[in-house]
Amino acid sequence: MWSTRLFWKPFTYFSLLIILSSVIGGATTIRWQQEQIIRQLELRLRNTAIALQSPAEEALAHQDIEDFQSVIQTMASQINTRITLVGKQGQVFADSHKDPQQLDNHGDRPELITALKTGNGSSKRFSDSLGIEMLYIAYRIEHQGTTVGCVRAAVNTQQISDQVADIQFKIATLVLIIIVGGLSIAGIGISKMTQPVVHLIEEARELTSGQIKKPRNLSKGNEFDELGQTLNNLSKTLSKRMRQLERNHNELLVVLEGMKEGVIAVDGSDCIRFANEAVCRMFSLDVKRDEGRPIWEVLRNQMIETTVHKARKSDEPFHGKIELLTPHELHLSLSASAIPSSSHSSSSKNPGVIIVFHDITEIHRLENMRRDFVANVSHELKTPLASIQAFAETLIDGAIHDDDNNMLFLTRIVEQSDRLNLLIQDLLSIARLESGENVTDFASVDLTEIAQRCLNDHQSHAAKKNITLVSNQIDSVWVFAEADGLTQILDNLVDNALKYTPEDGTVSVNIQAESRAVRLQVTDTGIGIPADHQDRIFERFYRVDKARSRQLGGTGLGLAIVKHLVNAFGAEVDVISAADQGTTFQITFPLVDDGDA
Amino acid sequence: MKRFDQELTELQHRLVEMGELAESMIATVVRGLEDISMDVSDVILKSEDVMDNLQVTIDSEVVRILTIYSPVATNLRYVLTVTHVTSNLERIGDQAVNIVELLQLMMARSTMKPEPRIIQMGHAVREMVNGAIGAYINKDSKEADKYRNRDEYVDSLNDQIMREVLSEEVALEALKGEPDLAGPLAQILIARALERVGDHSCNICDEVFPLVGGDHIKPFQ
């Protein structure tokens, strides 16, 4: 508090005022007192001289100097005054302090000269007789109209200065006491007045620096306390707001960080102000390193940069799509919108922009697949139809009478119709499976029995290509599935295996009952599936080699149906294969107890 | 001084733009090789023009900055390396144009398709360009080291392609009497162009070291 300007400024003024007034007052009093003392002394001397005028006249007239001498000697000692009787020519007749015989002629003393001339005189000078400074007052003595001498009263000036010094000392002491007292009263008063202000300032400073303390208890009183009360309320509201703001901020942060969408915020000069975790993953950013750097430098994508600029210029959010190659192959849709800045913000010229990235890679893939599917279906349907049309037209154009070929053409037409039929049937079952309708009547099914039946059905087909068709399992293995569906899976897998296995190969169906699952493996020694095709073979109409597949009469839907059915049974299908080394399709069923049904 | 900082930022911005362009050119070329289509040629040729203009702009900007501000220490090193980076980027752009021309030749004069290894090389090289620019912009010597080491992989792919193409197909075709020389030739030259792109990326990586440590490190020399 002692260091505040608030205290020192008024205190200095007050001190100056007090010191100045008391010093001037003291000085004036001293001077006045001094004059008063001198006047008093002079008056006393005058009175003494006047009182002695007539005794002196008498003494001179009667030549009774001896008596006078003794009178003035007693008197002088009593009133502490030197009294001298001087004759008209300056000869000393009597003196209270010295023997008049020893004194020289006093005719040259200025007070005596004036007194003889005008009646009285005074002077303050150094006494030749006594060797000290004296104040002299002299009066003329007249006897019957003629001047006979002078009576002179003198007093030691030392006496005056002693008295004056005494008075000076007293007054100075008083002044000092007044100054000290005044200063302390002023100091205490001012400090009392400034103390609350200092506290308020401290409090306000804490408020601005963000630390909010418990409000002080303030008594109701003057305006300062009222101000303090207001500040207390302000601090309470502010701290409440701050807490709320902090909570909101944290909530927002959690939401933003938890979002699957990438969010990035840039300021008016394109520098990144915020990037959530998702966006860091998408672009492999390092928040610590990249925050505060320009977005064009960090993301290095022209499209994003132009998006930011476009969004900044328009009020509407701006949408776009980008394809990323590094660090991952990603399709992103982005929408950017300018952050509306308050009108009094200085950066309103160049508002910040928030960009939200949605990962649409999966959607993009599915869209592609659907587009492919539609194209494939139309193509697959068109091919047999075109053949049928061509053969029919040929027959109409006259080939019907050509006995060598008409039957051949008709057979082809039937073949193509069968193919068309097969295709439509497959499409229907796919559609049914996808809508999830028909796989409701689950039961425990003997996998071995179904496998055996399937092998029997395909035996003739295998024999044509001289392929060995074998199975390992004899015991019954029960799985929880639907018999028709299971048959369809096995038919498809074995049919595929036979198709893609060259002559003299082997196709084996293995069933293994393990402790927790049942494995069904269909293994062939065929042409195999190259690794980069393996994760796509379950897609509809996906073919590793289009020409060969169609020649073999597949619809391109077999494995898609298998996949759907397997999923419906809660099982899993894997493919293990390498080019030219055969393929194994493995289906893992969750186990059910033997002989449950 | 503030003005100088602004100029440096602007220079960096232009450089990033050029780097992006180079990378997208390579990406486009690789897509062209994958799809075996000439749709990309217009884009590439246009990009090449933009690239040349950018190089001229950046280089004159560098000269301006050097004369007006006479930068010192880190800033001087940076400004000096910028010209090296731009020339390397410009050559990457040239190689992209070369590849498109070779692809055109292959499509016109041969039934051959670009080998899978070439596509593989293309992807590797595109990543290298991206990584090199990233390392340079971020002044990250670790990244720079990582991407410059990829060059060995690219070189080995190039060797494989060369050996394969030379050994069997050309010889057989030539013996058959109806030689398809354009195909293998384009194959080799495309691989070589991609390999050059990799080398330029390495050069860009090399420019990172003086920025970070102040000394040139060229382990391969």
Report yes or no on B217 lying in a domain.
Answer: no
Give which of A338, A331, A394, A329 is closest to A357, Cα–Cα. Answer: A331
% of residues, chain A, pLDDT over 90: 5
A477 three-state secondary structure: coil
- B6 in A contact zone (CB under 8 Å): no
Average pLDDT on B32-57 reads 89
Average pLDDT over residues A292-303: 86
> pLDDT digit string (tens) for A241-278?
989 999 999 998 899 888 888 999 988 888 898 888 88
Q: Are strands A572-577 and A583-590 parallel, antiparallel or unpaired?
A: antiparallel
| pLDDT, position A24 | 92
Instruction: Quote the minimal CA–CA distance from A536 to chain B in Å.
Output: 18
Selection from A153-157, A296-300, A446-450, B16-20 with the highest mean pLDDT: B16-20
The least confident of A60-74, A229-243, A293-307 is A60-74
Inside any domain, residue B155: yes
For residue B214, name the pLDDT band (cuts at 50, 70, 90): low
Superfamily of domain A6-163: PAS domain (3.30.450.20)
Residue with tokens 């024999």: A463
Which of B27, B126, B133 lies nearest to residue A300, judging by beta carbons?
B133
Q: Judge whether A6-163 and A259-359 match in fold.
A: yes
**Is 90 exceeded by the pLDDT of residue B56?**
yes
Give the range of the structural domain holding residue B38, as residue numbers without chain letter. 2-212
Contact assessment for residue A470 and residue A454, using Cβ atoms and an 8 Å cutoff: no
Check if A325 contacts B (Cβ < 8 Å): yes
pLDDT of residue A285: 84
Q: Is residue B218 part of a domain?
A: no
What the block records as the tokens of B170 is 């050309």
**Are A296 and B16 inside 8 Å of each other by CB?**
yes
A226 pLDDT higher than 90:
no
Mean pLDDT of A400-423: 85
Give one DSSP letter per residue of A378-411, joined into a string.
HHHHHHHHHHHHHHHHHHHTTGGG-TTTHHHHHH
Which CATH code for domain A375-427?
Answer: 1.10.287.130
Mean pLDDT, all residues of chain A: 82
pLDDT score at A300: 85
Which range has the top average pLDDT, A433-437, A538-542, B146-150, B191-195? B191-195
Q: What digits encode the pLDDT tens for the residues A471-483?
A: 886 678 888 888 8
CA distances A262 to A281, A286, A319, A337, Å, are 8, 14, 14, 14
- Spatial distance between the Cα atoms of B28 and A357, rounded to a whole number of angstroms: 23
Q: Look at residues A217, A164, A225 and name the one whose alpha carbon lies nearest to residue A193.
A: A225
Q: Do residues A377 and A541 lie in contact, with contact meaning Cβ atoms separated by under 8 Å?
A: yes
The whole-number average pLDDT for the span A103-127 is: 83
Which residue would you say has higher pLDDT here, A587 or A194?
Answer: A587
Q: What mean pLDDT do residues B203-213 have?
A: 86
A517, A566 in Cβ contact below 8 A? Answer: no
Give the model's confidence band at A597: pLDDT under 50 very low, under 70 low, under 90 confident, else very high: very low
- B133 touching A, CB under 8 A? yes
Domain A259-359 annotated CATH 3.30.450.20 = yes
Residues 141-180 of B with CB under 8 A from A: none
- pLDDT for residue A596 is more than 50: no
CATH fit for domain A439-590, picks 3.30.565.10, 3.30.70.3270, 2.60.120.560, 3.40.50.2300: 3.30.565.10
First and final C-alpha spacing in chain A: 96
Would you call B137 and A325 a contact, using CB atoms and an 8 Å cutoff?
Answer: no
On the question of pLDDT at B221 being above 50, the answer is no
Least confident piece of the model among A451-460, A554-563, B171-180:
B171-180
pLDDT digits (tens, 9 = 90+) for B89-118: 999 999 999 999 999 888 888 777 788 888
How many domains does chain B fold into? 1
Tokens of B169: 């197909």
Q: What is the pLDDT of residue A177?
A: 92
User: What CATH number corresponds to the domain at position B36?
Assistant: 1.20.58.220
pLDDT of residue A219 exceeding 70, the answer is no
Q: Which residue of B has its CA nearest to A283?
A: B134
pLDDT tens digits, A306-358:
888 888 888 888 888 888 887 778 899 999 988 876 555 545 567 889 999 99
Q: For the beta carbon of residue B155, count every other beta carbon within 10 angstroms.
A: 14
User: Is A447 within 8 Å of A411 (Cβ atoms)?
Assistant: no
Q: Which of residues 326-365 of A touch B (CB under 8 A)?
A: 326
Distance, CA of B205 to CA of B140 (rounded, Å): 9
Q: What is the pLDDT of residue B93?
A: 93
Is the backbone peptide bond immediately before A327 cis, with ω within 30 degrees of 0? yes
Q: What is the ipTM of this complex?
A: 0.80
Q: Return the domain boundaries, chain A.
A: 6-163, 218-252, 259-359, 375-427, 439-590
